[in-house]
Amino acid sequence: MTSQQPPLWRRTVAELLGSCLLVMIVVGSGIAAQQLSPNDVGLQLLQNSTATVLGLTVLILVFGPVSGAHFNPVVSLVDWVLGRRSGAGLTLPELGTYVVAQTVGAISGSVAANAMFDVGTSISAKERATTGHLLGEVVATAGLVLLIFALAATKRGALAAPAVGAYIGAAYWFTSSTSFANPAVTVGRIFSDTFAGIAPSSVPGFVVAQLIGAAVGLGLLLILFPAAARTADDVILPHSSETPSPRP
């Protein structure tokens, strides 16, 4: 990373909190939707997706200036891969730290959402790993990666928060999987046997599909925007410290 990046510990806290709040929003709004509209699954999905769109947009705006607001291991992974081409982006130790923070945060968010609605934390029994769902995850993740890094490559990072929120909201509806597109969130949602949950047996397939989607998105990005590697430090939002600090 450049000397203008905030220290790693601060970025780690931002990634942990952001991932925690993101899953809290997804799981909590799913529980609320299930309670408010028990007989209408379509309305439940509308309520869940609307809350996620609004919440994710806000979280990117809040935490983006600190850590880039990745909240997603595939975004961090692609950032690291691109950075190897230009000397920018995350280092390998930083990548590992981000992924651990994102995963711990996601699990914590699920537990907190369960507690708020007094439903108790339990392992989900909702099986999702059909062929259609896995294809949906490939499509959703590829589109997300392409969107995020294309915005950075074209210096339109200011649009990232509403654009990413809008894309995830749309992908709730146009993908069969309802667009998890995030390994940390997928793991976090194991710990809530509610509307937004996913059974542990479905998780490996989802994560593999997400990694394939990330590779597809990266390939499309390099075809369409060959100079994207130079903007790895600006994903999802540009993040810099007012006072230059030594490389962590």
Structure tokens at 75: 């975004």
Q: Report the predicted TM-score, pTM, of the whole model to 2 decimal places.
A: 0.92
The residues spanned by each domain of the chain are: 8-234
Measured CA to CA, the distance from residue 161 to residue 152 in angstroms comes to 12
- Nearest in space to 142 (alpha carbons), one of 130, 153, 132, 150: 150
Contact 109, 189 (CB under 8 A): no
Coil, strand or helix at 11: helix
The domain made up of 8-234 is a member of CATH 3.60.15.10: no
Query: What φ, ψ does residue 229 adopt, rounded to 5°?
Result: -60, -30
Environment class of 221 (CB within 10 Å of its CB; exposed 0-12, middle 13-18, buried 19+) = buried
Per-residue pLDDT of the chain (248 residues; tens, 9 = 90+): 444 889 999 999 999 999 999 999 999 999 999 999 999 999 999 999 999 999 999 999 999 999 999 999 999 999 999 988 777 889 999 999 999 999 999 999 999 999 999 999 999 999 999 999 999 999 999 999 999 999 999 999 999 999 999 999 999 999 999 999 999 999 999 999 999 999 999 999 999 999 999 999 999 999 999 988 888 888 888 887 654 444 44
pLDDT at 242: 54
- Tell the burial category of 142 from Cβ atoms under 10 Å away from its Cβ (0-12, 13-18, 19+): buried
What is the amino acid identity at position 201? Answer: S
Residue 241's pLDDT is 66
Tell which residue, 205, 199, 182, 230, has the closest CA to residue 69: 182
Structure-token pair, residue 183: 């390994």
**Burial tier of 230 (Cβ tally within 10 Å: 0-12, 13-18, 19+):** middle
